[in-house]
A = this chain, B = another copy of it.
Amino acid sequence: MNQVINAIGRNLPEYIDGYGKVRPFAGAFATAPDMPRQAPKVKQIFPGEQKLVADLETVFKRIPITDGMTLGFHHHLRNGDGVVNMVLAVAAKLGLKNLNIALSSVFPVHAPIVEHVKAGVVTGLDTNYMSGPVAQAVSRGLFPRPVILRTHGGRARAIECGQLKIDVAFIAAPTADDYGNLNGVNGPAACGSLGYAMPDAQYADHVVAVTDNLVPYPLSPVSIPQTRVDYVVKVDCIGDPKGIVSGTTKITRDPVGLKIAQTTAKVIRAAGLIKDGFSFQTGAGGASLAAAYYVRQMMEESGVTGSFALGGITGYMVEMLEKGLFRTIIDVQGFDLDAIRSLATNPNHLEVGADFYASPFNLGAAVNKLDAVVLGATEIDTGFNVNVVTGSDGVIMGGSGGHSDAAAGAKVTIVVANLLRGRLPIIMDSVLTATTPGETVDVLVTERGIAVNPHRPDLYEKFQAAGLPLKSAEELKALAEKIAGRPESITTRDKVVAVVEYRDGTVIDVVRQVD
């Protein structure tokens, strides 16, 4: 097999069976779009015509769904999602084969996919993040074709650019009316923003809303409009609230995590970003929230009003909005009940699609306007390339999600990590799976020091002036290895089980089978 080396030095096959020709990653902003937008057939519905269909089986037959089609799903119901399994059970019952599943993220609840792959019902998967049994099975070579791993912005791009053509989008809708207006803020399975479903609704050939909360026409507010929805199916239950929203998200109590968070806030301040108009994205985990906690203290001390908080939204960000620390929240995904309540009631809490959030190929995603983003890593190398796809055993346990998107967009991208993960160093010469290219990562914050990407001497000077504990990535790596030794490299098979696409659609890396 001929090989090609991409811009971060990854050896890739020129062609991958079941995927096609590899377009090698050429640099974070080196690949330009050169296509028209995806253009589904224009449709028509007559006054008086109904969209409400008795059950999913009827929808399958009416469209009709046939072997080999791509079915789209969103992940806003997270580990409480009931719709993917429900739809695939119908597909299996009807004897369909060779389906491709475009599900924005895969959770443990989606374990039944494994059986559908074994039965040949499903043969392809296209996702931005996966954890649990499906991810493990993918790593062990379950799928006949490589899974495509995208970023949240990359999925929106691929849909808009016609590279991920969704034949039928099934949209889990916490609330719907009978003409296909949908929102996520009401109903027993309320999840907040429906941002990741918006590109599917806009560009799929057929759109099916699946709801357990049918309300009289017209629904308000409307997140996905009637003009793009073919059918509405009422079911008993689309999801389990316990798996949909996290409980109260809490700031970490781990002293190492708190130290890293505090240093992160100092980095942001030293970079000169704590001023009016400050914009910020951080994750929903305890350590990310801790960083937000310290940033907030600085904002309050300086009397600063930020412009927007971005990303997966938690009650902590809502509180900052309500206290006037941010003027707006831009919400592609909400994580808790406060985020849902705020989206439903606060006009300064904006619901946006994945394209608005993070697509590289439109007239400007929100990530482009970020001052600072705080991101995690399972591995980072001395070239600042980050792995958030595979664990130390080579098994897939995540994915980029918005990682690469926010890193590419933000003025200052900060990766935070404990020097050791379990008993293994997280800094190495070369990450097992490159997810986010080093050229888009500016700073690494660990509990033992801060490394600045050499391409940002401006930041290095500022941090030095602020007296921050600067080290080179190589020094941090040596420190980690001194404690934990040099990790053994993973042995993988040749078979490519997943292709990691950068947000622009080029291939940044592949994941190979592990035993």
Supposing A37-B40, A179-B369, A363-B43 touch, asked if A308 and B344 sit within 8 A by C-beta, the answer is no
Closest to A161 in B: B42
B307→A216 contact, CB < 8 A: yes
Residues on the B chain within 8 Å of A362, using CB: 42-45, 227-228
Q: Is A333 an interface residue (CB 8 A)?
A: no
Residues on the B chain within 8 Å of A408, using CB: 47
Report Cα–Cα, A448/B443, bound state, in Å.
81
B230→A363 contact, CB < 8 A: yes
Closest to A368 in B: B47
Closest to A206 in B: B363
Supposing A217-B369, A221-B350, A330-B218 touch, asked if A227 and B40 sit within 8 A by C-beta, the answer is no
Residues on the B chain within 8 Å of A43, using CB: 33, 361-363
Minimum distance in angstroms from A314 CB to a CB of chain B: 19
Minimum distance in angstroms from A175 CB to a CB of chain B: 13
A227→B359 contact, CB < 8 A: yes
Interface size class of A (residues with CB under 8 A): 35 or more
Report Cα–Cα, A92/B328, bound state, in Å.
41
B229→A363 contact, CB < 8 A: yes
Report Cα–Cα, A307/B177, bound state, in Å.
12
Within 8 A of B (CB), among A298-340: 307-308, 327-328, 330
Report Cα–Cα, A34/B42, bound state, in Å.
7
Report Cα–Cα, A47/B405, bound state, in Å.
11
Minimum distance in angstroms from A373 CB to a CB of chain B: 12
Residues on the B chain within 8 Å of A18, using CB: none
Contact with B along A354-386 (1 / 0, CB 8 A): 011001111111111100000000000000000
Within 8 A of B (CB), among A142-177: 160-161
B363→A227 contact, CB < 8 A: yes
B216→A277 contact, CB < 8 A: yes
Report Cα–Cα, A409/B344, bound state, in Å.
30
Minimum distance in angstroms from A290 CB to a CB of chain B: 26
In the complex, which of the residues B38, B42, B217, B366 contacts A33, with contact meaning CB atoms closer than 8 Å? Answer: B42
A39→B42 contact, CB < 8 A: no
Residues on the B chain within 8 Å of A366, using CB: 218, 226
Contact with B along A427-468 (1 / 0, CB 8 A): 000000000000000000000000000000000000000000
Minimum distance in angstroms from A27 CB to a CB of chain B: 12
Q: Is A347 an interface residue (CB 8 A)?
A: yes
Q: Is A41 an interface residue (CB 8 A)?
A: yes
Q: Is A348 an interface residue (CB 8 A)?
A: yes
Residues on the B chain within 8 Å of A273, using CB: none
Q: Is A32 an interface residue (CB 8 A)?
A: yes
Supposing A228-B362, A360-B44, A368-B47 touch, asked if A350 and B218 sit within 8 A by C-beta, the answer is yes
In the complex, which of the residues B36, B218, B330 contacts A369, with contact meaning CB atoms closer than 8 Å? Answer: B218
B363→A180 contact, CB < 8 A: yes
A347→B348 contact, CB < 8 A: no
B218→A308 contact, CB < 8 A: yes
Within 8 A of B (CB), among A1-56: 29, 32-49, 51
Q: Is A345 an interface residue (CB 8 A)?
A: yes
Residues on the B chain within 8 Å of A364, using CB: 45, 49, 51, 179-180, 226-227
B42→A37 contact, CB < 8 A: yes
In the complex, which of the residues B225, B328, B363, B367 contacts A356, with contact meaning CB atoms closer than 8 Å? Answer: B225
Q: Is A252 an interface residue (CB 8 A)?
A: no
Residues on the B chain within 8 Å of A328, using CB: 218, 220
B227→A347 contact, CB < 8 A: no
Known: A47-B408, A220-B347, A227-B364. 12 other contacts (CB 8 A): A32-B44, A34-B42, A36-B42, A42-B161, A43-B363, A44-B361, A45-B363, A179-B369, A220-B349, A221-B350, A227-B359, A229-B363
The 10 tightest CB contacts between A and B, nearest first, are A36-B39, A39-B39, A33-B42, A47-B368, A227-B362, A37-B39, A220-B348, A45-B364, A220-B328, A226-B364
A residues lining the B interface (CB < 8 Å):
29, 32-49, 51, 160-161, 179-180, 207, 216-218, 220-222, 225-230, 277, 307-308, 327-328, 330, 344-345, 347-350, 352, 355-356, 359-369, 408-411
> What are 21 A-B interface contacts by the 8 Å CB criterion?
A36-B39, A37-B41, A38-B39, A43-B362, A45-B364, A47-B369, A47-B410, A179-B364, A179-B369, A180-B364, A216-B277, A217-B307, A217-B369, A218-B366, A225-B352, A226-B356, A226-B364, A227-B355, A227-B359, A227-B362, A344-B347
